[in-house]
Amino acid sequence: PYNGPSYEQILSTRKSHLTPNLVAHFKKPLVIHAGHMQWLYDHEGRRYLDMFGGIVTVSVGHCHPKVNRALNEQIETLWHTTNIYMHPKIHEYAERLVAKFPGNLKSVCFVNSGSEANDLAMLMARLHTGNQDIITFRNAYHGMSPYTMGLTAQSTWRYPLPGISNGIVHVMNPDPYQGIWGGDACRDSPVQTSRSCQCQDSCQAGVEYYNELEQTFKYSLPRGRVAAMFAESIQGVGGTVQYPKGYLKRAAELVRANGGVFVADEVQTGFGRTGNHFWGFEGHDYVPDIVTMAKGIGNGFPLAAVVTTPEIAATLGMALHFNTYGGNPMASAVGLAVLDVIEEEQLQRNSLDVGTYFLKCLAELQQRFELVGDVRGKGLMVGVELVSDRLTKAPLAVPHVLDIWETCKDMGVLFGRGGLHGNVLRIKPPMCITKSDAKFAVDVLESAITKTFAKQN
């Protein structure tokens, strides 16, 4: 049972002593007190099905016994940096992690957060290519450090700092639902819109977005010179946005032809979440030059990494580069245990099976409710975009979205929310959920939508 400070005391301390940037979800924010697998418990002992996994941080389940055991054993033996002496765990883990990658992605540098990983990837790309400029998508999220805030391209996440986007070019987001060229009928997803895909090998919308990217090279960059392009394999914070088929592969070729490297941000999409593949980029049929990862890699423990080729990694040898906690014994022990659990419990397979079932149930919901404008995603990386008008795709007004979201919470299901207009339910549960959890979540969502409609009428 919970025996910490009272709810009122927590609120008051928060108001007086924590910086105001710290947002807590929900009108009456939850005090989370305990977790077990797909379940979270609040201070009053109420149980919630966690369909957001703390923004995808929890990959194999809250307080998974095997991960906890590995961490506890390490805690009893040694806490330290592994970056001035050698420790076996970081070596064992590096070997296991890089074995998960195709091609020549064989060199890993451990850090502590997604922003740090992307910072490091930016540095590597610039040092390796000798070029400055980095391309990202409008609507991307790559972090909150001053460097990565420049990559992130949603006004909600940007402060007015001088030079924040120095050397960054934001290109049109290849969004097949809200974008001007459509393409939702041929997204890589088990659910399809009522229109069937007319495209052959590569999606026509993808071709249009590619042409637009080419224009950027013609007008906005020094001729033939770019350091990198960054892309999430499916945009997370941006509202589970998938790209048209074939686009990323061609974009990577274009970037390389202009002297740059391609960086896949797998902070949300890695470690089996998309079901078909272990890494999201594999679903786009290309191999990036640098891959960044965080969140699910440590099941909630602060751990992140950059994996790249030995040639690109070698550029870091030109000066000292140090990170006190990156790959420390506890982080490495946790990372190893997470990989074990994903394999032993076949969680990638579960993501595919439960995710596909879940997406199909949501697609049925979309048939019944006009305001469910779009259902998209792969595996257990799912988005439900709520609209006020199916035809114009105008976002559902935030108060209505909040109503639905809060009602789900009150009925025991936690969803995330995102997209520039805050109208997309972001659903990324721990990968251990079952089909009956998925069904429960859909039933609760249906009931919340019905209640909101009833209030409106």
Contact 306, 292 (CB under 8 A): yes
Determine, following the binding rule CB under 6 A, whether residue 119 of this chain makes contact with ligand PMP: no
Determine, following the binding rule CB under 6 A, whether residue 233 of this chain makes contact with ligand PMP: no
**Residue 259 zone, left/alpha/beta (φ > 0; ψ -120 to 50; rest):** left
Determine, following the binding rule CB under 6 A, whether residue 231 of this chain makes contact with ligand PMP: no
Closest CA to 185 of 268, 144, 261, 244: 244
Determine, following the binding rule CB under 6 A, whether residue 237 of this chain makes contact with ligand PMP: yes
Cβ neighbours around 429 below 10 Å, total? 30
User: Which of residues 74, 82, 107, 115 is near ligand PMP by CB under 6 A?
Assistant: 115
**Residue 426 zone, left/alpha/beta (φ > 0; ψ -120 to 50; rest):** beta
> Least distance from C-beta 161 to ligand PMP, angstroms?
17
Q: Which is nearer to ligand PMP, 217 or 325 (CB)?
A: 325
Cα 272 from chain centre: 12
State the Cα–Cα distance between residues 71 and 67, nearest whole angstrom. Answer: 6
User: Which of residues 268, 309, 366, 452 is near ligand PMP by CB under 6 A?
Assistant: 268
User: Which of residues 48, 52, 93, 141 is near ligand PMP by CB under 6 A?
Assistant: 141
Beta strands per DSSP E along 185-233: 228-232
Cα angle for residues 21, 25, 29 (degrees, 5° grid) = 105
User: Which of residues 294, 333, 342, 425 is near ligand PMP by CB under 6 A?
Assistant: 294
> Least distance from C-beta 24 to ligand PMP, angstroms?
16
Determine, following the binding rule CB under 6 A, whether residue 113 of this chain makes contact with ligand PMP: yes
Q: Which is nearer to ligand PMP, 48 or 52 (CB)?
A: 52
User: Which of residues 35, 114, 244, 326 is near ligand PMP by CB under 6 A?
Assistant: 114
Residues binding ligand PMP: number (CB under 6 A): 15
Phi, psi at residue 65, to the nearest 5°? -55, -40
DSSP conformational letter for 32: E
Q: Which is nearer to ligand PMP, 236 or 373 (CB)?
A: 236
Q: Which is nearer to ligand PMP, 181 or 262 (CB)?
A: 262
Determine, following the binding rule CB under 6 A, whether residue 428 of this chain makes contact with ligand PMP: no
> Least distance from C-beta 76 to ligand PMP, angstroms?
27
Largest Cα–Cα distance in the chain?
67
* Stretch 49-68 residues interacting with ligand PMP (CB under 6 A): 55
Residue nearest to ligand PMP (CB): 114
Determine, following the binding rule CB under 6 A, whether residue 143 of this chain makes contact with ligand PMP: yes
Per-state percent for the chain, helix, strand, coil, to nearest 5? 40, 15, 45
CB-side neighbour CA atoms (13 Å) of 317: 6
Q: Which is nearer to ligand PMP, 157 or 369 (CB)?
A: 157
State the Cα–Cα distance between residues 138 and 235, nearest whole angstrom. Answer: 11
Paired sense of beta strands 424-427 and 134-137, if any: unpaired
Determine, following the binding rule CB under 6 A, whether residue 265 of this chain makes contact with ligand PMP: yes
Cα 217 from chain centre: 27
> Least distance from C-beta 214 to ligand PMP, angstroms?
25
Bridge partners (DSSP) of residue 377 are 382
> Least distance from C-beta 119 to ligand PMP, angstroms?
9
Chain residues binding ligand PMP by CB under 6 A are: 55, 113-115, 118, 141-143, 232, 236-237, 265, 267-268, 294
